[in-house]
Structure 1
C-alpha cells in the first residue's frame, strides 16, 4: 500500500470516528429529551477556530480535541422550578501533543452550579475537558476523593473547583468509558442517561 492510499484510509477513518461521535451525541439528545432534559444549545461544543499563525503544537487541533453537550431540566424556562444542576457529556478524542496516547472516551458529568437558575443555563463547552484533563488541583489529588487517574470503567469521581474564576465552587460528579465501548443506544441509556438521572434525583431531593 502506497503513501497516498494510507493517507486516504487515515482520513476516511478519522471522518468515520467524527461522524459516529456526532451520531452518539444525537442519540443522547433524544434519550435525554424523553426524560425531560433538553440541550442548552444547538451547537456541539468543541475547540474554536484557529489563527493561521498558531504555534506548531496547535496544528493538531484542526481535528477537535473534544465534543461536548449539556442538558438541563426543561421545566426551568416555564418558571415552575429553580434548579442548580446540569448534565454534561464529553467525547475526548485526545488532549495535548504530549498526551496523544490518551484513550478516546465518553464521559458523563453532573454539575452542581454555585447558585440556582430560573432560566436556561449556559455552561462553557470546555468545562468537562478542563476538569478531567487540565485542572491541576484535581490531578494532584488536592480536595479530590481519588488519587489515581481518570479510569474509564464507570467508577465515579467528585471534585469541586476552588480556583478557576469561571467554574469556582462548581462541583463535578463524573465517570466515563472508552469511546469504543459505546456499541448501541442501550449502552448510552444504561451507563449515561439513566445513571445521570439517578444521580440527579438523589441530590436534588436534598435541595
Structure 2
C-alpha cells in the first residue's frame, strides 16, 4: 500500500469508528426507550471538539472529539437519577485507551442540576482510579453527583444483544436499586 492509500484507509477507519459509535448509541436509545427513558438532550450528542488552528494532539480538546456521550432519564423522575453511555474514542492523556463504551448510573445530588457532557469522562479519567475496560465496576463521587460505571472495548459490541446484555440491562438494574 502506498502512502496515499494508507492515508485514505486511515480516514475511512476513523469514519467507520464514529459511525459504529453512533449506531451503538442509537441501539441504546431504542432499548432504553422501551423501558421509558428518553435522552436528556434530545437528539444531541455530547462531545468536545476544537476548531482552533493552535490545537495540538496533546491537549484535551482537538478537532476529533474524544468521546460521544448521552444521558437518559425517565420524564417523571424527580430523584436525580440519570443513565449515561459514553463512546470513548481515545483520551489525550492515555496512549493505551482503545475505543470503549463507558456505561454509568449517575445520582445527582441536586436533581435539577444538569450534568455536563464531559462529567462522565472526567470522573473516569481524572480520578485516582485506574481505567480498565474489562467490565470492572467503579464508584465515583464529587460535589455534583455520584456514579457507578464500567467500561468495555467497543469491539466487544457486535450485535444489539451485546448492547442489551452489557450496557442496558446493567444500567436498568442499577436504576431500580
Equivalent in the alignment of 1:49:
50
Aligned-residue offset at 1:32: 0.6
Distance 2:24 2:56 in 1: 32
Which among 83, 86, 93 is matched to residue 89 of structure 2?
93
Equivalent in the alignment of 2:134:
153
Equivalent in the alignment of 1:131:
123
Aligned-residue offset at 1:19: 0.7
User: SS of the counterpart of 1:88?
Assistant: strand
Note the aligned Cα RMSD (angstroms).
Answer: 1.9
Structure 2: runs of 5 or more not aligned? none
Whether contact under 8 Å (1:40, 1:122) holds in the other structure is: no
Structure 1: runs of 5 or more not aligned? 77-81, 140-148, 162-167, 203-207
Aligned-residue offset at 1:60: 7.8
TM-score, L = length of structure 2: 0.91
Q: How does 1:10-159 map to 2 (within 5 A)?
A: 10-41=10-41, 42-55=43-56, 57-58=58-59, 61-76=62-77, 82-96=78-92, 98-117=93-112, 122-135=114-127, 138-139=128-129, 149-159=130-140
Aligned-residue offset at 1:55: 4.5
Distance 2:139 2:163 in 1: 21
Going from structure 1 to structure 2, the CA distance change for 1:169 and 1:72 (only over 3 Å counts) comes to same
The structure 1 segments of at least 4 consecutive aligned residues displaced by more than 6 Å after TM superposition are none
